[in-house]
Amino acid sequence: MSARGIVKECTVCGTSFKTKTNTSGVWETRCDTCHSARKTKHSVQKLNRQVQSNMMSLESRTKTMEEKFANIELVIEVAARDIVTDAITKALEEIKASTLEEAKQIIEAHVEEQTEKWQMQLLKMNNRIRALTKELGLDD
């Protein structure tokens, strides 16, 4: 009895090969070449699965971003409504305690102030959207 392995026929390529030990001769069915080819194939398959999983995660992230973009108009509308409501409430409080001419000036000042704030907010939002779009590569 040989101290190191037994001779078997590779189930893949059919060549004779020596198993590593007598014990492993029970389960070894492939020669070294076929065995490492199979291992490489498995590694490639594993890598493919990882890439696919990463792609899917990126896809779902992109989808989430797209959904957020779809809602952005509504978000801006609601924000704008809040700003306008705040401005009107503030203006009304001041108008209650003033003459008509003063009231006119107060309204104009408020409208100017709120318009500037609103424009700044829109500009900021716009820059954020542009940055996100670039980051996700959606700007082609």
The count of residues in the chain is 140
Using the contact rule CB under 5 A, the part of the chain among 6-14, 82-90, 108-116, 131-139 near Zn ion is: 6-14
Using the contact rule CB under 5 A, the part of the chain among 13-21, 86-94, 97-105, 106-114 near Zn ion is: 13-21
99: tokens are 């003459």
Cβ atoms of 17 and 32 within 8 Å: the answer is yes
Please give the residues from 17 up to 76 whose contact with Zn ion meets the rule CB under 5 A.
Answer: 31, 34
Q: Please give the DSSP secondary-structure letter assigned to residue 3.
A: S
Asked if 10 is part of the footprint of Zn ion (rule: CB under 5 A), the reply reads: yes
Shortest gap between Cβ of 8 and Zn ion (angstroms)?
10
Cβ atoms of 49 and 73 within 8 Å: the answer is no
| Separation between Cα atoms, residue 100 and residue 87, nearest integer Å | 18
Asked if 87 is part of the footprint of Zn ion (rule: CB under 5 A), the reply reads: no
Tell me the site size for Zn ion, rule CB under 5 A: 5
- Which residues are near Zn ion by CB under 5 A? 10, 12-13, 31, 34
